[in-house]
Structure 1
Amino acid sequence: MSTIDLTAQTFEQTVLDNDIVLVDFWASWCGPCRNFAPIYEEASTSNPDLVFASINTEEEQALSSAAQVTSIPTLMAFKKGQLVFRQAGALPASALDELIAAVRALDVEAASD
């Protein structure tokens, strides 16, 4: 599955309706965002059971503000509707793979106790 574009109208439902959702906040003028894009796209192809979403911070300024995104790229991971990871900065492919494995292995119910 390739990445999907999220908007303020589709963000919440996408996060709630899917087991694992990764969200990349980016902008077209951002060099690190452009460098991270092919890594993110490759991960989406390698993990078709997960939702890989992108939010253009220029087009979705209110959503970016509500998510408290202050630098880009920012990557967030949600599992069962809960934010379980948030980090600014582009990740190398190996770190993204490790993150995906960690999110898959995370027991959200045990972590919230």
Structure 2
Amino acid sequence: MKVLNENTFDEEINKDKLVIVDFWAEWCMPCRMLTPILEKLEKEFTDVEFAKLNTDENPNVAFKYGIFSIPTVLMFYKGEVVNSFVGAMPESVVRREIEKAIEKIKA
């Protein structure tokens, strides 16, 4: 997963493909539970870009997108949020949310 910061965020989310961004923090136990799931799905969804942004180190981006609970996952296509979820979800739910985002951008 690509590590984003305030300098790289806007460029990365404005791609012509689905970009999944995990908003997380080092101290967050649910974040630590979600990371291996996203890393596994990154291998499955090879046409999707997976990235993470530490909210403690990049508070301006977190504030801009109204991130108050972590983990929060936002899915971007050409800079627009096309899907999202909050909290550590089971792999099946995360996969389904990614598939919904893919269907939305294909429509």
Equivalent residue, structure 2, for 1:34: 32
Larger Rg: 1
Distance 1:20 1:84 in 2: 9
Backbone CA RMSD of aligned residues: 1.4
Shift of 1:93: 0.4
Distance 2:30 2:105 in 1: 31
| TM superposition score normalised by structure 1 | 0.87
Unaligned runs of 5+ in 2: none
Equivalent residue, structure 2, for 1:44: 42
Unaligned runs of 5+ in 1: none
Count of matched residue positions in the alignment of Structure 1 and Structure 2: 107
Secondary structure of the corresponding residue to residue 17 of structure 1:
coil
Deviations 1:72-95 (A, max 9, x none): 000101123211112211121001
- The 8 Å contact of residues 30 and 71 in structure 2, kept in 1 or not, is answered as yes
| TM superposition score normalised by structure 2 | 0.92
Q: Which runs of 4+ in 1 moved over 6 A?
A: none
- The 8 Å contact of residues 25 and 55 in structure 1, kept in 2 or not, is answered as yes
